[in-house]
Structure 1
Amino acid sequence: MKTDAIVINPPQPATASVIWLHGLGANGHDFEPIVPELPKDITRYTRFIFPHAPARPITINGGMIMPGWYDVFGMDLTVQQDVQGIRESEQIVHHYLAQEIEQGISTQRIVLAGFSQGGAIVLHTGLRYPQPLAGIMALSTYLPLIDTVAQERHPANQPTPIFLAHGQQDPVIALLHAQRSRTYLEQLGYRVEWHDYPMAHQVNAAEISDISHWLQASLA
């Protein structure tokens, strides 16, 4: 399964890439406006790829067809999960990783980023990916298929820095889900940088500032 993407090439030859996945019902344009807000010392050499999720029926929304990385069956995201959809979207991320490698970008210069559903997919994919990544950035999300992580994770990304951020008043993905994911990742020995903000299911200026600092450190 392949999707199209918005690609923002840097003014200088690209030496790093950020593959950034949107949330349910959005598209690749969703986080495009953040790029100009990031420091020039990142954007001048970093290619940003914003894939569009495939359209699929979403059970919790009455079967309405919309862009989604996987189906959602109920408000408790941990009870019943769309295993097939999650693993299909993992392969979509692999496609974009392969494209960047073909263009000469080392995996150690690639960050996987995502918001909400997109964040769940980059966490799922990054922990299992067999080559070292520069970082994994997961915003307003949780760790899906948590029972399979310990068995399926790959040691290549054990030392990879992980940025987790969440809204304290998030009505879509409860803060508790994110906190449990953070605790579990830390128990497995991952380096997690955690932030929470007085906001709902969104991104704010303070978070963009923290993302900027983290990206600078990850892609120095």
Structure 2
Amino acid sequence: MAAASGSMRLQRCIVSPAGRHSASLIFLHGSGDSGQGLRTWIKQVLNQDLTFQHIKVIYPTAPPRPYTPLKGGISNVWFDRFKISNDCPEHLESIDVTCQVLTDLINDEVKSGIRKNRILIGGFSMGGCMAMHLAFRNHQDVAGVFALSSFLNTASAVYQALQQSDGLLPELFQCHGTADELVLHAWGEETNSTLTSLGNGCSLTYKGPHRRLGL
């Protein structure tokens, strides 16, 4: 059973823009991490915070929930998985609950005066998968979506949504390290190939060590 609910307000780590706030970036962490943890990691990679003159960066933290790959152990994950693989069904119940919780976050930005087409959604690993579900299935009018070292299951509901869409879709940036041994490069490659066949692919591979951020 999903642990989150649409009424839950996520913890948020926020980096304010240096100037006037006119756009927002929602950056989702990987499984078992936190918004603060992702911000710290990016700061280590860049030797500084990810900051912009006009963009507010929001790092939300996934609510704790039982996670099947940990034998039901509690972890900060955006959704449950039956196993860490691309050849099994998606756990749509938990994915859809989190889509609603993250929609509340998007709505908060809109209420503050930021247009939907000025909101960028993305993430690392599981966060990138969650971002694709959120953008392509629920918010096709956002500015764009990015997925770093992420994959979609072979029969993903995202693909079904893209097949049924007859309007403009948010632009996708996807990248995946060739040396990634946890989220296999082949899974990201298959995701990219399927998205391309549906009219929304992009360049994918970068050479690099295991689990490095593609920034």
Per the TM superposition, whether the score is higher than 0.5 is yes
Question: Kindly tell me: are residues 130 and 62 of structure 1, through their superposed partners in 2, closer, same or farther at Cα, counting changes over 3 Å?
Answer: closer
Residue in structure 2 matching 1:4, options 2, 11, 16: 11
Structure 1 contact 133–157 (Cα < 8 Å) conserved:
no
Residues 1:27 and 2:34 are matched in the alignment: yes
- SS of equivalent residue, structure 2 residue 130: helix
Question: Kindly tell me: are residues 150 and 25 of structure 1, through their superposed partners in 2, closer, same or farther at Cα, counting changes over 3 Å?
Answer: closer
Q: 2:47, 2:53 → 1: CA distance? A: 10
Structure 1 contact 120–144 (Cα < 8 Å) conserved:
no
Residues 1:62 and 2:66 are matched in the alignment: no
Matches within 5 A, 1:1-220: 1=5, 2=8, 3-33=10-40, 34=42, 37=46, 43-144=52-153, 146-153=155-162, 154-158=165-169, 160-203=170-213, 207-208=214-215
**Deviations 1:1-35, CA, capped at 9 Å, x for gaps:** 22221111112121111001001100001231436
- Give the residue type in structure 1 aligned to 2:118: R
Structure 2 contact 39–49 (Cα < 8 Å) conserved:
no
Unaligned runs of 5+ in 1: 209-220
Structure 2 contact 64–75 (Cα < 8 Å) conserved:
yes
**Deviations 1:149-171, CA, capped at 9 Å, x for gaps:** 3442444552x221111121212
Q: TM-score, normalised by structure 2?
A: 0.85
- Give the residue type in structure 2 aligned to 1:186: T
- SS of equivalent residue, structure 2 residue 203: strand
Structure 1 contact 138–164 (Cα < 8 Å) conserved:
yes
**Which range moved further: 42-51 or 21-30?**
42-51
Instruction: Output the aligned Cα RMSD.
Output: 2.4
**Bigger helix fraction:** 1
Unaligned runs of 5+ in 2: none
- Give the residue type in structure 2 aligned to 1:60: P
Structure 1 contact 129–156 (Cα < 8 Å) conserved:
no
Q: 2:155, 2:112 → 1: CA distance? A: 33
Offset at residue 107 of structure 1 (A): 1.4
Q: 2:147, 2:116 → 1: CA distance? A: 18
- SS of equivalent residue, structure 1 residue 192: coil
Q: 1:169, 1:67 → 2: CA distance? A: 25
Q: TM-score, normalised by structure 1?
A: 0.83
- Give the residue type in structure 1 aligned to 2:52: T
- SS of equivalent residue, structure 1 residue 49: strand
Question: Kindly tell me: are residues 105 and 85 of structure 1, through their superposed partners in 2, closer, same or farther at Cα, counting changes over 3 Å?
Answer: same
Structure 2 contact 18–51 (Cα < 8 Å) conserved:
no
